[in-house]
Amino acid sequence: MRPSLRIGYLGFGAYLPPTVLTNHDLEKIVDTTDDWIQRRTGIQERRVLAKDETILGMAVAAARQAMDDAGVSPEQIGDIRVGVNTWPRFPSLATQLQAELGAKNASASDVSAGCTGFVYAVEGAHNKILVENLCYDRDLVSLVVGVDGLSHAVDWQDRSTCVLMGDGAGAVILGAVERGGILATYTHADGRYGDLLYSDTAFETQWSTNGSGRFSTKQTIARPYLRMDGRKVYSVAVRTMVHDVLHVIDKYNHGNPDPIGLEDINFLYPHQANLRIIESVAKKLDVPLERVYTNGIVKFGNTSTASIPIGYLDPQARPEGSRRTGLEIDVAFGAGFASGAILRKVV
């Protein structure tokens, strides 16, 4: 059964720190070259947090822009979900964001799903809005943010990861829409591959007993650096993103008298991890690159959970002056081999 309520994006926001770190800057930090980075990844530059900027600050800026765009006040927000991997504290970033915004009527939680956090968060928000409406006759408006400060999480001596990442945030407001909106979502994970892309633990505690049976502890706090076996992750990323795009279309078509195909998709927003990955996915799906978002990886590097919502507002995502309409798909893949896709209709 398809619910009559349509849920879609009401507003968009994004924030990128002003500090630009180019490949030539990186040549002075690690043993790398602009040529290697561009050939293997497509990245030209990325943004990084300055000393006085924070991950919370990026989330607040993106969220405020999305709320302004939607014409929604903080009190109207009923649910906040933040896809994030680099928030080093608890309570959650979402609760800190709630406090900063004054969104006093909202529930708030973080979503940890690697670079797919934003997709998981949108799916969760969508489903909650639907349940609240159908079961409790309550109109819910949700704020979903994808944000990561990977410059705080990479090892700046590890050239295989530090050249890839950038900082940024993107946000959307979700609520009831009259036309279009989210048509289907799909998420999946495969934790067996957890050790191919991970971050070390921040705390280590060693327990021991002395001769008299007393316990003692030794605690160390380590920087939790990101580690990745890039080559192994690469091939699974391509395969999985292709699968997820096809799967979300299949999901929408199930029992639908008016099925769609890949040829009906006007624009694809893939997670921006590597230009070669994006090109391979587009080629395997036979979607021309003009209909695929690629500028994020070139100009902002891999911003993890933020890369898709940053793309929504990137003017480079579409030919100058043109407005996006029709069917669009977001697709992401990341750590824990969590992946997923969203099929949306823009009207």
Q: Bin 335: left if φ > 0, else alpha if -120 < ψ < 50, else beta.
A: beta
Task: Tell me whether residue 74 or residue 234 sits nearer to ligand UT7 (CB atom).
Answer: 234
Name the burial class of residue 2, with classes exposed (0-12), middle (13-18) and buried (19+) by CB atoms within 10 angstroms of its CB: exposed
Q: How far is the CB of 160 from ligand UT7 (least distance, A)?
A: 4
Positive or negative: CA dihedral 94, 121, 21, 197:
positive
Angstrom distance (rounded) from CA 272 to CA 295: 9
Angstrom distance (rounded) from CA 323 to CA 109: 33
Taking only Cα atoms into account, the Rg of the chain, rounded to an integer number of angstroms, comes to 21
Q: Which residues contact ligand UT7 by CB under 6 A?
A: 32, 36, 40-41, 115, 159-160, 163-164, 230-231, 233-234, 237, 273-274, 277, 302, 333-334
Q: Within a 10 A sphere around the Cβ of 80, how many other Cβ atoms? A: 27
Task: Say whether 271 is catalytic.
Answer: yes
Helices (H) and strands (E) in the chain, counts: 10, 15
Q: How far is the CB of 54 from ligand UT7 (least distance, A)?
A: 22
Kindly report the length of the chain: 347
Q: How far is the CB of 321 from ligand UT7 (least distance, A)?
A: 31
| 85, 126, 247, 271: the active-site residue | 271
Task: Tell me whether residue 39 or residue 324 sits nearer to ligand UT7 (CB atom).
Answer: 39
Residue nearest ligand UT7 by beta-carbon distance: 230
Task: Tell me whether residue 9 or residue 337 sits nearer to ligand UT7 (CB atom).
Answer: 337
Q: In sequence order, which residues have a C-beta less than 8 Å from that of residue 132 and are 6 or more positions away?
A: 78, 138, 139, 140
Q: How far is the CB of 204 from ligand UT7 (least distance, A)?
A: 26
Q: How far is the CB of 105 from ligand UT7 (least distance, A)?
A: 34
Task: Tell me whether residue 64 or residue 159 sits nearer to ligand UT7 (CB atom).
Answer: 159
| 85, 133, 274, 302: the active-site residue | 302
Q: In sequence order, which residues have a C-beta less than 8 Å from that of residue 234 and are 6 or more positions away?
A: 274, 276, 277
| 115, 126, 133, 247: the active-site residue | 115
Q: How far is the CB of 27 from ligand UT7 (least distance, A)?
A: 9
Task: Tell me whether residue 96 or residue 187 sits nearer to ligand UT7 (CB atom).
Answer: 187
The dihedrals phi and psi of 271, each to the nearest 5 degrees, come to -55, 140
Task: Tell me whether residue 36 or residue 64 sits nearer to ligand UT7 (CB atom).
Answer: 36
Helices 275-285 + 230-253 axis angle, to 10: 40
**Which residues belong to the active site?**
115, 271, 302
